[in-house]
Structure 1
Amino acid sequence: MGETVRWLTPEEQRAWRGFVRLHERLGGRLGRMLQSESKVSPADFAVLVNLTDVPEGRQRYQDLARALEWEKSRMSHHIARMAGRGLVVREECAEDARGAFVVITDAGRAAIEAAAPRHVEAVRELFMDHVTPAELRVVAEISERVISKLDEDLA
């Protein structure tokens, strides 16, 4: 407890608070748009995007939870709700009796295919149209570097 706190400088605080506000406001706006126009929650969208990004549209529960940074209980409850709506199914793992897969259904694919065009349009309207290509490269580099460090810390 005797460590000295490295308080943020005014410049660091401005950048950090701006980043947090940007993240919160973009997430809120995109989430409301998804929910109202596509009837897909931001959490549903995140699950479906992850499942469409992997072969066969299936992923182990633990890997999906890790990718989304979700606790086991949140993952279990949310997947149960999505399964109840027919967006995903739970598949037992033959190699590991304790493991299971989350698998996207045809209804889940239809939901993401319907939501994705409007989502990408909103991403362009709310973010991409307001940054230059050079700024976009910097955002990508910063994001990749910080994510890499977070992944290292997790391992």
Structure 2
Amino acid sequence: MPQLSDTEMRAWQGFLHTHDTLWKTLDTELAREFDLSLPAYELLLTLEEAGEAGLRMTDLARSLRFSGGGLTRLVDRLQQGGLLERRRCATDGRGFEAVLTPEGRRLLKRVHVKHLQAVRALFLDRLTPEEQNTLAAIWDRLQSPPQEKPL
């Protein structure tokens, strides 16, 4: 059975463990300080970037890599909290758009400052600028389609 080399194993497991630790820590801090999950923060941030027009629910789900049901539950919760609203699409009455409310914008500004501080403390400040550049280039390469290898 094929095996990974020690270096390959360290690279792969390091990525998995680091991602898991950072995600859980950031999610816990947001929940403790703002009663907001990391996926909820990402959703609110995506809506802020979309502007006043908001985003169709299908586009929002695709952008956030959510299932339709998972997005609906999260949007329901954020709507109940007054952070966003859902409205019928003006161009297609069958669809819905999610739009950030003024209260959602205010909360997002407070959360954003604390979240970026945590990202810097837990991750970015532990890397040199050169390491950040290298890592950014690696993520760019891994997010592009794989190249076909000749046989």
TM-score by length of 2: 0.89
Q: Secondary structure at the match of 1:53?
A: helix
1:93-120 C-alpha deviation (Å, 9 max, x unpaired): 1222322111000111111111111111
3-state DSSP of counterpart to 2:134: helix
Deviation, 1:89, is 0.5
Q: Which residue is 2:131 aligned to?
A: 135
Choose the corresponding residue for 2:64, options 64, 68, 71: 68
Q: Contact 1:61/1:102 (CA < 8 Å) preserved in 2? A: yes
How many angstroms apart in 2 are the aligned matches of 1:45 and 1:68? 11
Who is 2:91 aligned against?
95
Contact 1:60–1:99 at 8 Å: present in 2 too? yes
**Structure 2: segments with no counterpart, 5+ residues:** 147-151
List gaps (5 residues or longer) in structure 1. 151-155
The counterpart of 1:79, out of the listed 63, 75, 80, is 75
Runs of 4+ aligned structure 1 residues displaced above 4 Å come to none
* 1:4-15 correspondence runs (5 A): 7-15=3-11
One-letter amino acid matched to 1:24 = D
TM-superposed deviation, 1:10: 2.4
Q: For residue 31 of structure 1, what is the amino acid of its counterpart?
A: D
CA distance in 2, matches of 1:45, 1:136: 23
Shift of 1:50: 0.6
Structure 1 pair 6/95, CA: closer, same or farther in 2 (3 Å)?
farther
* Map of 2:149 onto structure 1: none
TM-score in terms of structure 1 length: 0.87
Deviations 1:9-51 (A, max 9, x none): 3221210110010000001111111111122211210101111
Could you tell me how far apart the structure 1 residues matched to 2:77 and 2:41 are?
13
Once residues 92 and 132 of structure 2 are traced to their aligned partners in structure 1, the CA distance between those partners, rounded to angstroms, is 43
Q: Is the 8 A contact 1:57 1:104 kept in 2?
A: no
- The match for 1:48 among 44, 47, 54 is 44
User: What amino acid maps onto 2:54 in structure 1?
Assistant: R
What is the letter of the counterpart of residue 149 of structure 1?
P
* Cα separation, 1, equivalents of 2:42 and 2:68: 16
* Contact 1:40–1:111 (8 Å) recurs in 2: no
- Provide the alpha-carbon RMSD of the alignment: 1.6
> Structure 2: how far apart are the matches of 1:57 and 1:108?
15
